[in-house]
Structure 1
Amino acid sequence: MKWIQKHTIQITECISLTFILLFVYAAASKLFDYHKFRAQLMQSELLAPYANILVWMIPLLELGIAILLLFPKLRLQALTFSVILMISFTIYIWYILKYSDHIPCSCGGIINTLSWTEHLFFNLMLILLAIIGTKLSIHIKHTT
C-alpha cells in the first residue's frame, strides 16, 4: 500500500486543521479590530459599497467554514467552501494588483508582513492545499 493511501485521513485532518487555524485567526483578527477592518474595506474602490455587510460576512464565513471542518462528515463540503473562499480572496488580490490605482492597506495579523504579491502567492498555495484536501476527502468518502 502506498504511503499516501495509508495516511489519507491524517493528511486530510492536517489540512483541515491548517484551515481551521487560518480561518479562526483571520476572523478573530478582523472582529477584534473591527474598525480597522471596516476602514480597510472602505479604502477599496471595489468593496467600499459593500463594506458594512462584508465587515461581518467575511469573518462569519471564515468561522462557519472552520466549524464545519471540525466534523469529518462535513469536511468535504467545508474544504470545497475553503477552495471557493480562497479563490474569491485571490481574485480580489489579483484585481487590486492589476487594475486598482490605489492599493488599500494590507490585511491584519501575521499576513500584514506580506506584500500584496506575496499574499497572492500565499493564497495560491492555500488554494492548492484546499484542493488536495478536497480530493483526499473525496477519496475517503469513496473508500468508506
Structure 2
Amino acid sequence: MSFKGIHSKLVNLFSLLLTILFVYTAVSKLVHLDIFQWRLERMPYISPYASLISWGMPFLELVIAGLLWFPKYRNMAFYASFILLGLFTTYIIVVLKYSDSIPCSCGGVISALGWRDHILLNVSFMVLSLLGILWSKKRYNMQTN
C-alpha cells in the first residue's frame, strides 16, 4: 500500500474520530442545555457570554463535524477543529493557572476526566487535526500534479 493510500485512510479515520468527539460533546450539551449554561455562568472570564456560548458551541461543533465529511471542506474543518480545541485547551490552562474557581462545564464521560487528562485528550485531538491538515494538503498536491 502506498503512502498516498495510507494517508487517505488515516485522514478518513481522523475525520471519524473528530466527528465522534464533536457530535458527542454537542449532543451532550444540547440534551442538558440548562445545566451547561448554568455551568458556563460560573466559569471565570466567560460568564458574561454564557448564553451565547451555550447555543453557539454545540452549533459550531455540529457544523465542524458535518464539514469533515465533505472532501471540499475537510481541510477547513480540520483547521476549525484545531483552532477550537486549541482555544479551549488554552482557556483550561489559563483558568487552572490564574483562577481560584475551576468548575467543569463538560458532560457525559468527558466530565469524569481530570484536568490533566482533559488537556491530554484535547492535545491528542489537536494532533489528529494537524495531521489531517498536513496529509489533506499532501493528498491535494499529489492530485493536482
Decide: shared fold, TM above 0.5: yes
In structure 2, the residue matched to 1:141 is: 140
Q: Following the alignment from structure 2 to structure 1, what is the Cα–Cα distance between the partners of residues 140 and 112? A: 38
Per-residue deviation, 1:45: 1.9
Superposed CA RMSD? 1.2
Q: Indicate if the aligned counterparts of 2:42 and 2:103 stay in contact, CA closer than 8 A.
A: yes
Kept in 1: contact 2:4–2:139 (CA 8 A)? no
Give the whole-Å Cα distance in 2 for the aligned partners of 1:105 and 1:73: 35
Alignment partner of 1:57 is 2:48: no
8 Å contact kept, 2:26–2:59: yes
Matched to 2:88, the amino acid is: F
User: Which residue of the partner structure matches residue 45 of structure 1?
Assistant: 44
Q: Which residue of 1 aligns with 2:124?
A: 125
Separation in 1, partners of 2:109, 2:30 = 15
Gap runs ≥5 in structure 2: none
* Partners of 1:40 and 1:105 within 8 A in 2: yes
Residue matched to 1:88: 87
Q: Which residue of 2 aligns with 1:107?
A: 106
Amino acid at match of 1:118: D
Quick check: 1:20–1:67 contact (8 Å CA) kept in 2?
Answer: yes
* Structure 1, unaligned runs of 5 or more: none
- Aligned partners of 1:127 and 1:66: how far apart in 2? 14
Could you list the per-position Cα deviations for residues 93-139 of structure 1 after superposition, in whole angstroms to 9, with x for gaps in the alignment?
Answer: 11111111101135111101101121011111111111011101111
Letter in 2 for 1:51: A
Shift, 1:13, TM fit: 0.4
Aligned to 1:16: 15
Letter in 2 for 1:56: W
Runs of 4 or more, structure 1, over 2 Å off, are 3-6
Instruction: Give the AA of the match of 1:131.
Output: L
1:70 paired with 2:86, answer no
Q: Deviations over 1:2-55 (max 9, x none)?
A: x53331111100000101111011000000000110011011121100001000
SS in structure 2 of the partner of residue 107 of structure 1:
coil
Q: Distance in 1 between matches of 2:3 and 2:140?
A: 15
Residues 8 and 136, structure 1, Cα contact 8 Å, conserved in 2:
yes
Q: Distance in 1 between matches of 2:128 and 2:7?
A: 14
